Structure 1
Amino acid sequence: MKYIQFFLFYILTIHNSLFANDDIENLCKKFSIHLQQSEISLNINDDTSFKSGVLWKVITPRKKTNYLFGTIHSQDYTVSKIPTDVSFALTKSKKLILEIIPNNEANLIYLNEMYFKNGERLDKLLEKTLFRKFVEQAKQYNLSNKELNNIKYMKPWAAFNLIGRPKPTRAPTLESNLLKFAKQEMMEIDSLENMSDIISSLEKLPIDDQLNILKDTICNRKYITNDTKMLINFYINRDAIAILNLTNKKHFDESVYDRYMQEMLHNRNSQMLKKISGEFEKGNVFIAVGILHLISKHGLLEKLYNKGYVIEEIY
């Protein structure tokens, strides 16, 4: 599942970057906005309703009980293990709904859509120096010779999803462990979205925005490991405020970031809410979705609360 183990809530990482190559340094200057971890912790979201937690009991206006679990799309063993409180809530549920089911079908859809088929080429859209840097970085992701040969045809959104995550490991993700658990318990299984839905959202991003996000990722990739460690630490501590602050830090171009978040978070949340509301009326449903979809301002938890649902933090 090499191509679907990326952060579905991709975070723009903006830092001060130092490169030996003058050309790279000049090209990357506009993406160099540095924010220390101490500054992230000081940027408090006082208007956020849900400041902690990853698991919530949700009771509908008709008194049906369900659960919402915020996940993090990572293969890190510290987050891929299902917490006891989460497995207990799962055993009380009849149906598991994941954000997307991580299977071969999803992977094949992604593979089929990640390359240009209209003659466009990434090596013509990017400056030569940046494209060479991207290829150098992409080689760290266990690509086959065929994939490396086709890399010049890769769409920008596929390119930044590839290198905008830590190097993949053989470890399972939290989502795959939840899926395994549900199958063992013979639970009904469904998803909020399919891979085609997510790709459709990515394709709606203006090509210039995609290229700017890719350039930002190329220029600041060396900070991904550090940012990922921070994110995992915040998640383990169930610190919703810190996760939001890491996501909402300064960006090289706020308009690019806002358009990305509108398409990949808020618009998708609106579609997810329709299915969640319908499923929750049945009761005993456990839904696992990326944590940012739940805790962000105007996120799913806030939307459900405003519709009269009772939200109780469990873990």
Structure 2
Amino acid sequence: MRLKQLAVALLAVCGLAATAQAAVCPNPIPTPLTPAQLAKVGSERGFLWRISHGKTQSYLYGTIHANRVEGSALGPQVRSALQASRQLVLELDLDDASVSQQLMAGMQGKANVPAAVKARYQAQLARLCLPNALLEQLDINFLMVTLTLLDAQLAGVEGSYGTENVLLQLAKQRQLPVKGLETVAEQLAALKDDGELSLAQHEQALTMLENGHGRQQLLKLVDVWNRRDWATMSQYRSWCECENTAEDRAAMVRLLDERNPRMAQRIDALLREGQANFIAVGSLHLVGEHGLPNLLRQLGYKVEPVNLPAASK
């Protein structure tokens, strides 16, 4: 189901969703984390790997792009790994103004929703305090992700509490250099469909918003990450209901399988520079035979889970 696939890529629209809200919206725009919240040491969350390259050690961390505020407090092992690193590497450096501008430009378009479902889209926009004008301003893919993110906000899950935002803020405090693994064009290509959605795809996505099933699936993903339940995370594609059709499977290939080898090659190039890197990408990029830990092992690196269940190996 398309809405669930797009939820995997929430990072790309976290800033847009916040700025799109109307001032009278009952869902308040998220308050940035305070210095005290950033400094708070929480329980271990997410999935941390140690990468050995020569005499240097780097880290690979599986993140969650949106979370509850209590999930934003990183644990001591993750903080120690970041402290030991000389550079933070993310999928995209969203603190770079040019990157954010390119993303915003790439999200623009016209939703081109069929007349048969336009009223249902308008009802969802009204429920989430968004203007109908977004139907004429956003590409349909990013309209769906914006609706998904704001719907999750009703349950306290927000992009501002996602791991990348926390890591960026901590890196700025330390004046740690930040680098992106991908270009904006590459991420946009992965997120967008080549053609228009069918009426059936629109109806399925709307039904998930209307009955709350999409939110439930996203909340499960957030819960799995916070509990560090690698066994369940590693089986995501068996329970996400996101590969039921050929279109669904093609979208997942674009979002994960086609990006991982490119990421692995670029991580390899960074590691060859000989400095310690803290590399943070969405957790689903770490899963399975085609996940980054396995791809990096194939490139000759020793990649070990840090205090994760044996199943993560």
Question: Which interval holds the TM-score relative to the shorter structure?
Answer: 0.7 to 0.9
CA distance in 1, matches of 2:74, 2:135: 36
Does the alignment pair 1:269 with 2:257?
no
Q: How do 1:141-290 and structure 2 match up within 5 A? A: 141-143=128-130, 145=131, 148-165=132-149, 166-167=152-153, 169=158, 171-203=160-192, 205-208=193-196, 213-221=201-209, 222-249=212-239, 250-251=241-242, 253-281=244-272, 282-290=274-282
Is there any run of 5+ residues in structure 2 with no aligned partner, and where?
1-5, 11-44, 308-313
* Deviation (angstroms), 1:189: 1.2
Cα displacement string for residues 73-112 of structure 1 (whole angstroms, at most 9, x for unaligned residues): 1141232222211000011111100112223544432332
The equivalent of 2:83 in structure 1 is 91
Matches within 5 A, 1:40-51: none
Identity of aligned residues (%): 21
Q: Does the 8 Å contact 1:71/1:290 carry over to 2?
A: yes
**Length-normalised TM-score, structure 2:** 0.73
1:304 is aligned to 296
Q: CA deviation at 1:229?
A: 2.3
Deviation at 1:311, TM superposition (A): 1.4
**Partner amino acid, structure 2, of 1:286:** F
What is the number of equivalent residue pairs in this alignment? 258
CA, structure 1 residues 92+150, in 2 after alignment: closer, same or farther (shift >3 Å)?
closer
2:85/2:276 contact within 8 Å kept = yes
- Deviation, structure 1 residue 141: 4.1
CA apart distance, 1:210: 7.6
Distance 1:197 1:274 in 2: 15
State the AA in 2 paired with 1:248. S
8 Å contact 1:81–1:174 — kept in the other structure?
no
**CA 1:302–1:114 in structure 2 vs 1: closer, same or farther (change >3 Å)?**
same
CA distance in 2, matches of 1:304, 1:273: 6
Is the CA contact 2:88–2:177 (under 8 Å) kept in the aligned structure 1?
yes
In the alignment, which of 47, 64, 72 is matched to residue 64 of structure 2?
Answer: 72
Q: Is the 8 A contact 1:55 1:314 kept in 2?
A: yes
Q: Which runs of 4+ in 1 moved over 4 A?
A: 168-171, 208-214
Question: 1:36-63 deviations in whole A, cap 9, x for unaligned?
Answer: xxxxxxxxxxxxxxxx960010113x34
Map Cα deviations across residues 154-191 of structure 1 (whole Å, 9 max, x no partner).
32211222223313758433211101111111212111
Please state whether the residue corresponding to 1:207 is helix, strand or coil.
coil
When the two structures are superposed, what TM-score results if normalisation uses the length of structure 1?
0.73
AA in 2 matched with 1:55? L
Write the distance in 2 (CA, Å) between the matches of 1:197 and 1:233. Answer: 29
Give the letter aligned to residue 177 of structure 1. V
- Does residue 55 of structure 1 match 2:48? yes
CA distance in 2, matches of 1:66, 1:172: 24
Give me the whole-angstrom Cα distance separating, in 2, the residues matched to 1:191 and 1:298.
21
| CA positional deviation for 1:211 | 6.6
User: Using the alignment, how far apart are the partners of 2:129 and 2:158 within structure 1?
Assistant: 10
Larger relative contact order (CA 8 Å, sep ≥ 6): 1
Residue 273 of structure 1 and its aligned partner are, at CA, apart by 1.3
Aligned match of 2:105 in 109, 112, 115?
112
Secondary structure of the residue aligned to 1:66 is: strand
Q: Please report how far the alpha carbon of residue 242 of structure 1 lies from its aligned counterpart in structure 2 after TM superposition.
A: 1.0
1:122 and 1:153 in contact (8 A); partners too: no
Contact kept? 2:67, 2:222, Cα under 8 Å = no
> Quick one: distance in 2 between partners of 1:170 and 1:198?
17
Residue type of the partner of 2:263? M
Change in CA separation of 1:150 and 1:208 when aligned onto 2, cut-off 3 Å: closer
- Secondary structure of the structure 1 residue equivalent to 2:167: helix
